[in-house]
Amino acid sequence: MFAFDREAYEKKVSWFTQARFGMFIHWGLYAIPSRGEWVRSIEQMPEEAYMPFFREFNPVDYDPKAWARAAKRAGMKYAVLTAKHHDGFCLFDSKYTDFKSTNTPCGRDLVREYLDAFRAEGLKVGLYYSLLDWHHPDYPHYGDRNHPLRNDEREKDVPRNFDNYLDYLHAQVEELCTNYGKIDIFWFDFSYGDLTGEAWRATKLVRMIRSHLPDVIIDNRLEVSGEGFGSLVTEHPSEYSGDFVSPEQIIPADGIRDEAGRPVVWEACVTMNNHWGHCEQDKFFKSGDMLVKKLVECVSKGGNLLVNVGPDARGRIPAESLAILEDVGKWMDINSESIYGCGLSGLPKPDCGRITRRGDTLYFHIMEPQITYVPLPGVPRDKIDSVRLVKSGAELPVVSDWITNNYPDVSFVSLGPDPRLPDPTDTVIRVKLKD
């Protein structure tokens, strides 16, 4: 009987909850049609229409070192690359398939180069591995919820041996566990309908992974998708619950807690525009200013943020994404102490913005200018040891005068005579509490 070892779990996930900020990378053959990674399913594209992309794929500009530098400059501490997405195309030199990057004109093991480059920049490395596989002959086709040929009557009576597919899935995951050094995160995607948990032979899979990579962190999608939390939020998580909940394209309103009210480790994954995989037409990018605020929101609610980039068919991260990463990095250069190792503050969200906390230090994130002074609700004056503007380290005076005397239970600080915030995106005030 599996017993969830909470102490060992907390130790294992500590680097992850310290890191708070990562890069998601969705890349593969779908970058050529450039209509997102679900193009085969959405357009019910037959294999023969997709194979030209396999024969053509040659990302001549692929430079994972440049990707890693961009992630590091943005303040990201880890990354997750699609080793295999739903289309079944493998970005690594698997011996179990010919449908892999080393058999395309590019001839490269893209995963290995990514891992080497991101480790060299000091980032933790993760691999996304799709449980779905629209290329494998033994994955369900007709009648499946997502397969490109789900409605093709010609597929109706074609025999499929799902056990063969599971053997393939487990063998490939073991390749990734044993041929590429220490992997820090396995990001599976996704369970649906009856395909959940033991339908994937999840216990056997997780035991194999953890036998090779005892410290690896696994997401919760052997049980659910971006919808649902899985057994990690219950009193008795399953052996394949995973180590974090993975809300997708949303930040949970109140963070995530388990049945006992304990904060649960979670990571929100979001796109920069509206597609995971490259989409030439999708120019609806979130700004750096917005992503800074969303990162602060995640951390203030006890979570991580995984921001996606979708490199193009040449292997280039879109210029818009690089510019956004630079903007986020400029803010992180000055304020990352209010992100790394921070989390829930235990205080209500203030009107002016948000609060993150690390031990006896509170970070007030002022996102809206205040009239005269900045209130620090929930912080009694006699508990304050020091107040500093993170941007410069300057002392901020705690003030009380006829303007504030009506609110003796609230501490106020002055940012000076200028009504504009020192950083209009998010001005961070460090409040160190007395022991």
* Ordered DSSP codes for 307-319: EEE---TTS---H
Closest CA to 77 of 151, 152, 19: 19
Q: Which string of x and - marks every residue 343-372 that binds ligand GLC (by CB under 6 A)?
A: ------------------------------
The residues, any chain, with a CB within 8 Å of residue 182's CB and separated by 6 or more, are 213, 215
Q: How many residues bind ligand GLC (CB under 6 A)?
A: 10
Binding residues among 167-226 for ligand GLC as defined by CB under 6 A: 189-190, 225-226
What pairing do the DSSP bridges indicate for beta strands 303-309 and 21-25? parallel
- Residue 128 CB, nearest approach to ligand GLC (Å): 7
| Buried b / exposed e along 367-395 (16+ C-beta atoms within 10 A) | beebeebbbbbbbeeeebeebbbbeeeee
Tokens of 39: 């193009």
- Residue 216 CB, nearest approach to ligand GLC (Å): 18
Task: Judge whether 42 and 151 are in contact, CB under 8 Å.
Answer: no
- Which of 226, 375 has the CB closer to ligand GLC? 226
- Which of 87, 423 has the CB closer to ligand GLC? 87
- Residue 364 CB, nearest approach to ligand GLC (Å): 32
What pairing do the DSSP bridges indicate for beta strands 353-358 and 361-366? antiparallel
Q: Which string of x and - marks every residue 20-39 that binds ligand GLC (by CB under 6 A)?
A: ------x----------xx-
- Which of 83, 429 has the CB closer to ligand GLC? 83
As a whole number of angstroms, the distance between CA 336 and CA 128 comes to 26
Answer yes or no whether residue 133 interacts with ligand GLC by CB under 6 A. Answer: no
As a whole number of angstroms, the distance between CA 361 and CA 338 comes to 9
State in Å, rounded, how far the first CA of the chain is from the last one: 43
Tokens of 294: 């969303």
Binding residues among 245-274 for ligand GLC as defined by CB under 6 A: 248, 269
Answer yes or no whether residue 276 interacts with ligand GLC by CB under 6 A. Answer: yes
- Residue 35 CB, nearest approach to ligand GLC (Å): 13
Residue corresponding to tokens 């890349």: 27
Helix (H) or strand (E) holding 269: strand 266-270
- Residue 247 CB, nearest approach to ligand GLC (Å): 9
- Residue 262 CB, nearest approach to ligand GLC (Å): 25
- Which of 266, 412 has the CB closer to ligand GLC? 266
- Which of 24, 240 has the CB closer to ligand GLC? 24
- Residue 432 CB, nearest approach to ligand GLC (Å): 38
- Which of 265, 379 has the CB closer to ligand GLC? 265
**Phi and psi torsions of 269, nearest 5°:** -110, 130
- Residue 392 CB, nearest approach to ligand GLC (Å): 38
Tokens of 332: 């992180």
- Which of 37, 282 has the CB closer to ligand GLC? 37
Task: Name the residues that contact ligand GLC, by CB under 6 A.
Answer: 26, 37-38, 189-190, 225-226, 248, 269, 276
